[in-house]
């Protein structure tokens, strides 16, 4: 750690920033699925989708996988090898027990400090995790994941008492962050010291101190079926410094139509501190996906940007092609890979929810 950066300072004050997802990665972190209550009757199918995610990522960057113990590691190694993944070259396993697989939310958020030429420090921020407002106990093992990653990876760890999930925010690497009121202002996440509800100003100060936010764009709410109270990574995502793809629902009778239209209009109207505007690109939604009577939060916005590739959730419907075409146009030079996510989303999340980037 640089002597100029006091260890008791927050990440932003210590010279760190939150890089954009499209910036170069050293690795992608996963937590292998094992919770039968998350994918009742579909855990085997969810694991198959995880294998496909690793197979898509491993030619381009290291994949780091949290496993509950040695027997799980042996089983996962065998499954990956059977799929043709070069496990010894491209995958590292970490004996970090978890309650569930949603590493985007229970894992750390990595920040970078620009040092002298050719040098760049990587640290992590350990936000609190309470299973999306206390919905799915227990969560103590998940909440401990960032500290364990910091210890095993020998990274500086910043910590606050603030609860924040990685899927609730999206950033452009230059201080602009997208989020939703329905999630970050929800009293099931955080309250003030006097028990009061937190305000936009409270949240914006935390994001400035921890992630270097200079502009925070507030959308209203998320999509139907999302049990996270409206994570941004199902509705709007940066694909470049000033370009955002935003989910839209063409069917005016669908419950998502009006909220997504309002979000789209909000993004179009945004002007940053320097007057900058967004190029807002419409990203279609899949038709409603209902499994076992449950509306699932299926969205193409839950894609993941890795080195040279974009992994996009698909649902075996005609709009898959439309969405992939939109993202291919927005991500020139990046291979767009479809991952069948029908079983993943039964667990109420998809590819972005299940991955976390480690910057290079």
Could you list the active site residues? 353
Dist CA 129 CA 160 (whole Å): 11
Coil vs helix vs strand at 87: helix
Dist CA 63 CA 104 (whole Å): 14
Helices 70-82 and 43-57 cross at an angle (nearest 10°) of 60
Dist CA 358 CA 30 (whole Å): 11
Q: DSSP letters of 304-351?
A: EEETTEEEEEE-SSTHHHHHHHHHHHHSTTSEEEEEE-TTGGGGT--T
Taking a C-beta distance cutoff of 8 angstroms, is the pair 113, 14 a contact?
yes
What the block records as the tokens of 326 is 């939109």
Count CB neighbours of 358 within 10 A. Answer: 20
Measured CA to CA in angstroms, residue 19 lies from 41, 214, 301, 345 at distances of 38, 14, 19, 27
Is the bond into 141 cis (omega within 30 degrees of 0)? no
What the block records as the tokens of 139 is 């969560």
Measured CA to CA in angstroms, residue 29 lies from 117, 140, 181 at distances of 27, 19, 28
Q: DSSP letters of 93-133?
A: EEE---SSS-HHHHS-EEEEEE-STT-EEEEEEEEE--HHH
DSSP 167: G
Taking a C-beta distance cutoff of 8 angstroms, is the pair 103, 355 a contact?
yes
DSSP 353: G
């Amino acid at each position: 750690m640089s002597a100029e950066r006091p260890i008791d300072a927050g990440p932003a004050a210590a010279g760190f920033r939150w890089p954009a997802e499209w910036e170069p990665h050293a690795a992608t972190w996963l937590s292998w699925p094992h919770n039968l209550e998350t994918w009742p009757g579909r855990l085997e199918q969810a694991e198959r989708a995880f294998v496909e995610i690793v197979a898509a990522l491993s030619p381009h960057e290291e994949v780091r996988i949290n496993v509950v113990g040695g027997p799980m590691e042996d089983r996962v190694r065998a499954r990956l090898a059977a799929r043709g993944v070069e496990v010894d070259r491209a995958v590292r396993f970490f004996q970090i027990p978890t309650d569930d697989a949603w590493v985007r939310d229970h894992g750390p958020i990595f920040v970078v400090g620009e040092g002298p030429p050719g040098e760049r420090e990587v640290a992590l921020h350990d936000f609190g995790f309470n299973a999306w407002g206390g919905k799915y106990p227990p969560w103590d093992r998940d909440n401990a994941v960032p500290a364990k990653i910091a210890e095993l990876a020998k990274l500086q760890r910043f910590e606050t008492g603030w609860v924040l999930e990685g899927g609730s925010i999206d950033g452009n690497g230059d201080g602009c962050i997208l989020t939703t009121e329905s999630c970050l202002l929800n009293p099931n996440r955080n309250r003030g010291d006097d028990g009061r509800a937190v305000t936009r100003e409270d949240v914006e100060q935390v994001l400035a101190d921890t992630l270097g936010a200079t502009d925070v764009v507030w959308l209203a709410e998320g999509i139907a079926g999302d049990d996270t109270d409206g994570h941004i990574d199902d509705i709007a995502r940066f694909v470049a410094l000033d370009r955002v793809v935003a989910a839209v629902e063409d069917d005016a009778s669908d419950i998502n139509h009006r909220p997504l239209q309002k979000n789209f209009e909000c993004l179009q109207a945004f002007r940053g501190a320097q007057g900058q505007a967004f190029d807002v690109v419409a990203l279609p939604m899949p038709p409603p996906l209902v499994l076992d009577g449950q509306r699932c939060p299926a969205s193409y916005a839950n894609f993941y940007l890795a080195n040279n590739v974009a992994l996009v959730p698909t649902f075996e419907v005609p709009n898959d092609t439309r969405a992939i075409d939109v993202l291919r146009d927005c991500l020139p030079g990046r291979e767009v890979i479809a991952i069948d996510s029908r079983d993943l989303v039964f667990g109420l999340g998809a590819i972005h929810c299940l991955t976390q980037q480690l910057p290079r």
